[in-house]
Each structure stands twice: as structure tokens, then as C-alpha cells.
Chains A and B, each alone.
Chain A
Amino acid sequence: MSDRIFGGIGLVLAIIYAWAAAGIQESFLTDEVGPKVFPWIIAVILGLSSVWFLLKPDPDPEWPSWGRIAEIGLAALVLAIYAEALPVFGFLLPTALASGYLTWRLGSRPLESVVIGVLTALGIYLIFRSLLGLSLPREGLELAIDAFFSTIGDLFGNEPATAPQGD
């Protein structure tokens, strides 16, 4: 049954794809084939394989319970909120919350989760920002850490190794 639904979705996808490809504006300067043909070929393959799923479906996979599916959906939602929160709140707070949530759902005890979340966020920031100088979203807390490291760097006079340059 799953494969049949999948085939149905695939077929709709193929039709939308072919329709969208038909809507591509051709420029006056075009080659023999043009920008539409290859997408159409792809749509045909999508469509044919979807028809195959409709006709000869595989046995159903073992779907998890609805609770578990909700679990996965919720995790995706948390990650989506995390993506939106990063530029607004900086790196550390959202990362600590998101990784804390994930580890809690993966079986850590609540208090443990808080600790793991904070440590994950701090660890990643220290390695990827303070050590490797990657550009990460920064707000008050992050700027304070960077300032701290650049002070240390100044004290020892070899800043490039420890203090990332501002970006």
C-alpha cells in the first residue's frame, strides 16, 4: 500500500514537473535542444517508475507508530525553528536548546539533557569558532567569548592561533 501511495505522489510530481518545464521561458538565443527537453525526459522517467510502483508495489515497510512519526515531525519542527533562531539569538542559546531537546528525546534524563545541550553548544563553538575561525552567528554571549580569546591572544602575542579575526 505504501508503495502505491508513493507511486501516486510520484506521478503527480512528474506531471507538475513536466508542466513547470513547459512553462520555462525560452530566450531568443537558444540551442537546438533548448532548456525544456531534458526536464521532460526526467519527468518521463519519474512518471514511468511511479506507474511501476502503482502496478507492482513492494511489501510495506515497517512503519513506526503514529507517536513515533509525531516524534520525528516534532524534531524536524524544532530544527526548523532552530534554523530561524540562529541569526536572531546567536549560536550558543539556540544550539544548547536544540541539542538538549534532541538528546532528551533520544533517551537522556531531563537534567542530563540540559548539561549535554550546554556542553555540545559550547564545545562546537570553541572548536569551530574559537579554534578554527568559522563564521557562526554571534550575539552578546558569543562576542564576549571571542573578546576573551582575543585578550588571551594579545597577552601571549600570538593571536592567529587562538583568536579568530572578526568577520
Chain B
Amino acid sequence: MELLGNLGDGFLIALTWENLFLALMGCFLGTIMGALPGLGPSNGVAILIPLAFTLGLGATPSLILLTSVYYGAMYGGRISSILLNIPGDEPAMMTCLDGYPMAQAGRAGEALALSGIASFVGAFFATWGLVLLAPQLVKVALLFGPAEYFALFTLAFATLGGIAATNQAKSAFAAALGLGLAMIGVDTQTGVPRLTFGEVHLYDGIDFLIAIVGLFALSEVFVFLEHRGTDRDISTKPPTAVGRIVPSWSLIRFCIPTMGRTTVLGFIAGVLPGAGASLGSFISYSMEKRLVDKDKTFGTGDPRGVAAPEAGNNAAAGGALVPMLALGVPGSGTTAVLLAVLLALNITPGPLLFTQNPDVVWGLIAALFIGNVMLLAMNIPMVSLFTRVLLVPPRILMPVVAMISFVGIYGISGSPFELLMMVGFGLLGWVLRKLDVPLVPVILGTLLGNEMEVNFRRAVEISNGDYSVLVGSPLAIGLWTVAIVGFVLPIVVGGRIKRRMPMARDEESAISD
């Protein structure tokens, strides 16, 4: 019952006019960003962090705004999948398979409404899962010492590429690159400058927000410049008419078992390290196809094929918040960006967050419930408004994205040096995406690098210089085992899974969910 009390307190925090307004804004902006090809949850949240920060919002309001954007983007991704056959973001790619055929058959409105409901079901129950599971995980995490934390961070990096990763060396390289960037600046423990090459600007370290905005948002602009006028140019497709918006009750009832199953599956995929929303929607779709596709209608506009991946990816989005909040270790790109939000606000996520800042945690969770209801209310009747957004061509949108990135970073730094660094990160991001090097480990490395090193040094310090302490407890050994298995397994089975995911070779895969 303590749980309900906490949740009640959370609602008291979330139900202020300011927070409700921010949740509404976040949901609205998020849906738009999710719908627009080229802007997904991770880069959408990325460009908004510096803004939330410079606007002087407090911790809870900023988190409410940005997680609403995150949930909103998960809803919004389906819109362009269904209408244009282009996923608005990576997790929405499975929705194309049945959503677009439905739209071609004149049932676009129904597909949009149904996927909206499926998204709601997935996200709503996943938020309950978060409420129930996160406090349990916190109890385990309280047993962690520095050595266990070091192992946990390693596990996060080792599994980040996901089961579908094709080249683990590239994931390792990306992680090392991010960690290496985090080392730059004055060492927190001894106070000596490291790797700054005498540049005073670097003494404070490289702000991870600069890296995030550059790698995620600005590199997207370069990708669009590269593809303009080729067959990968997406600005030329005409959107489909929407048609009837309200789905019949029988259609919804027809999909209820599908939604139930895929919600559970998606949530689990979200909680587990190295899976994330893209895999959540993929597994959900494949399982449903195997289970109920008796007449071979999947892929030709079967409503269940729309409901399954949408419930799956939204449930996974909620599930991914569990390790991020309870352990401070995100399992996907977007939750890594949300972690950046917390760190930028000087809040250290992890088990202590639940005891030291319960208002932040429960206010956030309450806001997720509220945001979900808002999103459902917004997405069914107003969906035709969002489809208009798709008419904004990338040639107008992308310069706006670039300029807003500059505005945000200028707001937190106020100096051209940081802006130049951001442009550099944008170019770096483009090259890395070309070479199929994942960007998420780079981000996670810059975020967690210092924390990881601190735990490493503290563990060895406590044991008076004995490095074997790093594998000194059963818990630590367990974490190392999972890390090694998680790193090696994709080498064995990764290629097979990757081949089955449609469009997996697409550029988007560099920024997985």
C-alpha cells in the first residue's frame, strides 16, 4: 500500500497547472517529432534538453516535459509509417508492414486510431509495470558496491549493441570513444587536468549535451544533405487520405488479445538490457504473426499487424525506464538521452534516487500516466492535424532543427567554442553513421564515463590496490558473466536476427530507438 501512497503523492506533484501544461506541450511536440521522418525520440529529446535547461525549469517539470516528448514520439512514429510507408522513427518500422497496406485500402483512419489505442494500452500497462518493478530492482541495487557498479556499467556497454548487432568491434570502439571523451577535463579525484592539451575551454570537460545534440540532431541534417534528390529523398511522396477515424468496437475487440500479449512481451524486451523499443516491436510482430496469422493476412493490412508492434514498442518504451531509473543505467538510446536530462539537472539516478528524490520519481511516474491519457485524447480526434505536419518538407524542417540546436547550446554555453564543437560532433556523427558505428554507446560513454571510473577507482582503493576485488563477489561475477554473454551472443546469432528485421540496414539504425 506504500506504493499507492507514493503514487498518490506523485499525482499531487504532477497535477499542478505548470506540470500539466508541460505534459501537454511535451505530448504535442513529441507526437509531431515522432511523426516527422528524420526526427525521432532520441534526437527530439536531445534538442529539447538544453532548452528545458536554459528555461530554468526545475528537475521534476523538466523531466515531465521531456518524458512526455519521449512517450509522444513513440505514439507519433506510427503516423508516417501508416500514411507514407516511412517509419517516423526506428521502432515504428514494423508498423509499416500492415499499416501502409491498410492505408492503401482506404482504412488509414482506422489504422491510425487502432494503433493509437494499441499505443495507449502498451504504454499504460508498461507504466504500471514500471511502478511495480522499479522499487523491487532498487532493493537489489542497494546491495551494489563500487565493484558491482563497475561491472554493471560494463554490462550496459556490452549489451547496448543489442542482440541484433552485427559488428561488436564497432560497438566497443564507439563505447571507448565516448568514455575517452568523458575523461577530458580536470580529474574529479586528484584535481589534475587530463587530456586537455592546454586548452582552458576543456578544463570543465566536454558537456555531454553538446555531444548529444551534435551527434543526434546535427548529423541528421548532414544525412539529409547527402540524400537530397536521390531515391532516398523522402520529400516527394504524397501522403494518403485519412478517411474514417473512429474504429468499430468489433475491430478493437478483435485486437484485444493481441494487444495484451504484445504489451507483456514488449515490456520485458524494454526492461532487459540491449533490447529496446525497436526489438520490442519486432518480437511482438513476429510472435503475433506466428500465433494468429492462420489466413496469411499479416503484411496485407491485417489490423492485428498494426496493433501488435505499436503495443509492443510503447510497452518497451515504458519498460526501458525501469533500469534507467532504478539502476541509473539506460538500455537504449532514448533512455540514455533521458539520463542526460537527469545528470544535467544534477540528479544522480540509481537506487538512491528513490529514497532521496522520491518527489522526482513519483511525480514523473504520475506524469507518465497523465501524459498517456492526454496522448490518447490527442491522437484519436486530432490525428488529422498531425498528418498535416507531414506536409512540412524536410528542406524547411531540417534548417529549423539545426537552428534550434544552436539556440539550445548557445543558451547553456554562450560561447562560439561550444558551438564549433557541436558542428564537429555533427560531422563525426555523420561519418560514424556511414561506417555503421552505433552512436548510442558514444553518448552513453560520455554520460557514464566519469561515474564508471569513480566506481572503478573506489573499488580498488577500498581493497588497498587489489584489482581482484572487481570480481570479488558473486553478484559482481554474475554481472560480468551476463556482460560477456551479452557481448558474445550477438556475434553468434546477431546476423540471423538482423536479416529478418526489415529495413534494418537503413540509416536510422545508427540511432536505435
Residues of A bordering B, CB below 8 Å: 2-3, 6, 10, 17, 20-21, 24-27, 29-35, 37-39, 42-43, 45-46, 48-50, 52-53, 56, 58, 61, 63-64, 68, 71-72, 75-76, 79-80, 82-84, 86-87, 95, 98-100, 102-103, 105-108, 116-117, 120-121, 123-124, 128, 132-137
B254 within 8 A of A: no
A99 with B195, Cβ < 8 A, contacts A32-B464, A52-B169 known = no
Residues of A within 8 A of B176 (CB): 42, 45-46, 49
Q: Is the CB of B407 within 8 A of A136?
A: yes
Query: Scoring B residues 144 to 182 as 1 if CB is less than 8 Å from chain A, else 0, what string do you get?
Result: 000000000000000000000011011011011101100
Q: Is the CB of B167 within 8 A of A75?
A: no
Which of B308-316, B356-364, B415-423 lies on the face that meets chain A? B415-423
Q: Is the CB of A116 within 8 A of B51?
A: no
CA distance in complex: A135, B410 (Å): 8
Residues of B within 8 A of A3 (CB): 435
Identify which of B403, B414, B453 contacts A95 (C-beta below 8 A): B403
Q: Is the CB of A120 within 8 A of B403?
A: yes
CA distance in complex: A25, B196 (Å): 12
Q: Is the CB of B403 within 8 A of A72?
A: no
Q: Is the CB of B222 within 8 A of A72?
A: yes
Q: Is the CB of A103 within 8 A of B399?
A: yes
Residues of B within 8 A of A35 (CB): 187, 189-190, 192, 194
Residue of B nearest to A53 (CB): B169
Residue of A nearest to B467 (CB): A33
Residues of B within 8 A of A58 (CB): 166-167, 436
B404 within 8 A of A: yes
Identify the interface centre among A31, A35, A98, A103: most chain B CB within 10 Å of its CB.
Answer: A35
Q: Is the CB of B399 within 8 A of A106?
A: yes
Query: Scoring B residues 377 to 397 as 1 if CB is less than 8 Å from chain A, else 0, what string do you get?
Result: 000000000000000011110
Residues of B within 8 A of A39 (CB): 180, 183, 194-195
Residue of B nearest to A129 (CB): B407
CA distance in complex: A13, B228 (Å): 33
CA distance in complex: A19, B148 (Å): 30
Residues of A within 8 A of B427 (CB): 72, 76
Q: Is the CB of B226 within 8 A of A72?
A: yes
Q: Is the CB of A24 within 8 A of B221?
A: no
B434 within 8 A of A: yes
Which of B93-101, B277-285, B328-336, B455-463 lies on the face that meets chain A? B455-463
Residue of A nearest to B197 (CB): A20
Residues of B within 8 A of A37 (CB): 457
Q: Is the CB of A38 within 8 A of B51?
A: no
Q: Is the CB of A84 within 8 A of B416?
A: yes
Residues of A within 8 A of B265 (CB): none
Q: Is the CB of B420 within 8 A of A32?
A: no
Q: Is the CB of A135 within 8 A of B192?
A: no
Seed contacts A33-B456, A38-B453, A53-B173; 13 additional CB < 8 Å A-B pairs: A24-B195, A26-B190, A35-B194, A42-B183, A46-B180, A71-B225, A82-B419, A86-B410, A86-B416, A95-B403, A99-B400, A116-B399, A120-B396
Residues of A within 8 A of B394 (CB): 106
Q: Is the CB of B456 within 8 A of A27?
A: no
Residues of A within 8 A of B435 (CB): 2-3, 6, 61
Q: Is the CB of B228 within 8 A of A124?
A: no
Residues of B within 8 A of A87 (CB): 415-416
Q: Is the CB of A68 within 8 A of B226?
A: yes
Identify the interface centre among A25, A46, A107: most chain B CB within 10 Å of its CB.
Answer: A107
**Smallest CB–CB gap between B96 and chain A, Å?**
22
Residues of B within 8 A of A84 (CB): 416, 420
Q: Is the CB of B406 within 8 A of A102?
A: no
Residues of A within 8 A of B179 (CB): 42
Residue of B nearest to A51 (CB): B169
Q: Is the CB of A106 within 8 A of B457?
A: no
**Smallest CB–CB gap between B466 and chain A, Å?**
9
B203 within 8 A of A: no
Q: Is the CB of A32 within 8 A of B465?
A: yes
